Amino acid sequence: MENSEQVLACLLLNRKKSHQQTNLYLESESKLLLGHATHPAAKSRLGFTEQDIIEYSPELRATFQLHYFAAKIGNVKRLGQGLTDIELRKLSNIAQLPSGYALLPVHQWQAKYLLQQNIINDLIEKDLLIDLGIQGKEMTATSSLRTLYNPELNFFIKGSLNVRITNCVRKNAYYELESAVKLTQLLAHNFIQLEHMHPGLKIMREPGCLTLDFPELPQTQRVLVEEGFGVLFRESPQELKEQNILLAGSLFTQGLSGESNVKSHIWNLSQLRQISYEQSNLLWFKSYLDSLLPSMFDSLFKHGIVFEPHLQNILIKEEEGLVTGVWIRDLEGTKLNQQLWKAEQLSDMSDKASNSVLYDQEKCWRRLAYCLFINNIVQAIFCLSRREPVLEARLWHQVRLTVQEYLKQNNNELAKDKLSNLLAGKPIPNKANLITRFLKRPDKEAEYTDFPNPLGSSRVLPKKEKEL
């Protein structure tokens, strides 16, 4: 928490010196300045110096070149489709490599970390690895810090960072990369069905990854190398440059003015429609719920797929002031209901990857309920209705109406069970991240506490339905 305060102080001191982005999407990735309102260490970055914060932070709109290494092709572990060797050479501006070598892109900070490890220097001395240094085209840091963007590329580059950012050290374990790529392949038909049923939905595929593997090394060193160089490729659609696509987390957070960033969107809609601020607020929020809830419910209840729709994994598409779609990203955290998906269907995955993906039905619901309601809707309503309890009650009533409408149109038994309980006011599962960290448990063994359900408390109902 002390580190989080120090990082925030550095960001605030250097904020005015940073340049403005012309790309609306990239601008939104920089707006999580204060982070989640209720996180105890929202800005912690254990491992970054003050200079690192200035050079690599999305809040300061950091852009920088990558650090490149070349390794013997036989030691490069590549899975699926991502940036090809030819595309990586163009990105790095490296015209020629020694015969039998392939390129690996690495975040600048991570390269410094790796070059401090004895095993990396041993590999360089043996010519199994070549340090090519910092060069090539610049990338821009997104809100996760380790996922980098260049509008000229068809893919984001999600590299490892051995830095503890909020809760976790953000290194790329290979089984996590593998699960994201294999799920992109396995669920291709399901993704198409979901996007067809929900035209505003976009699932950002993660079709490829690469890393290094030296099987002859002792296991600890082998894992250090494999995790340290791990890179995931996430698709980067053309619409990010052309349309109003914004990070949800950038809207539902406090800005420097003290007001939530989303409020400017509410005011703009109020002006556009010539309606009151409260009407605009309810209308905008309804459009957000309509885009978000049915698609995430269908994913679990009809397809047995659990995404992680928290605020940093959701991109919002706006048209004429309203939300017309949501994009979901970060398939690394996607899970499958083992009552609908069997281990045999994941036989193409390693045991560690498939075990991390398959969850029992109750854990699937808890995970979705936490991400969707606690980590998304609760925060959104907090930002939309601060200091306005009547408006807060009306926003929760809109959640109730949206859930009820979904239940009317879907008679799935699991949906009826879980959503009826939700509407009846039963507690919402709240993931106990702090306990999980203290006990050093894997995410699959996370405990959940009961969060008082606002849908079950007394509500102020809308005066007139036609106001919406």
Which CATH number does 243-467 carry? Answer: 1.10.510.40
pLDDT value for 461: 57
**Range(s) within the chain of domains with CATH label 1.10.510.40:** 243-467
pLDDT value for 242: 81
- Is the confidence at residue 212, as pLDDT, over 50? yes
The Cα 361–Cα 336 span in angstroms is: 9
> What average pLDDT does this structure show over 203-208?
97
Q: pTM value?
A: 0.92
pLDDT value for 443: 75
pLDDT, one tens digit per residue, over 410-446 is: 989 999 999 999 999 999 999 888 888 788 787 778 8
pLDDT value for 19: 59
Query: Cβ distance 156 to 144 under 8 Å?
Result: no
pLDDT, one tens digit per residue, over 308-363 is: 999 999 999 999 999 999 999 999 899 999 999 998 999 999 999 999 999 999 99
Cβ–Cβ contacts within 10 Å for residue 442, how many?
9
Cβ–Cβ contacts within 10 Å for residue 203, how many?
25
Task: Return the percentage of the chain with pLDDT > 90, whole number.
Answer: 81
Strands of 20-93 (E only): list them.
Answer: 45-46, 63-72, 76-80
- Is the confidence at residue 207, as pLDDT, over 70? yes
pLDDT, one tens digit per residue, over 75-108 is: 999 999 999 988 999 999 998 888 999 999 999 9
Say which residues have a Cβ less than 8 Å from residue 173's Cβ, sequence separation at least 6.
Answer: 227, 230
pLDDT, one tens digit per residue, over 363-405 is: 999 999 999 999 999 999 999 998 898 999 999 999 999 999 9
DSSP string for residues in 111-180: HHHHTTSHHHHHHHHTTSEEEEEEEEEEEEE-TTSSEEE-TTSSEEEEE---SEETTEE----HHHHHHH
What the block records as the tokens of 130 is 């070549």
Task: Return the percentage of the chain with pLDDT > 70, whole number.
Answer: 96
pLDDT value for 142: 94
What the block records as the tokens of 369 is 């309920």
Show the CA angle centred on residue 428, arms to residues 326 and 277, nearest 5°.
50
Q: List the one residue out of 64, 77, 242, 249 whose CA is nearest residue 157.
A: 64
Burial of 276 (0-12, 13-18, 19+ CB in 10 A): exposed
Say which residues have a Cβ less than 8 Å from residue 415's Cβ, sequence separation at least 6.
Answer: 297, 301, 406, 407
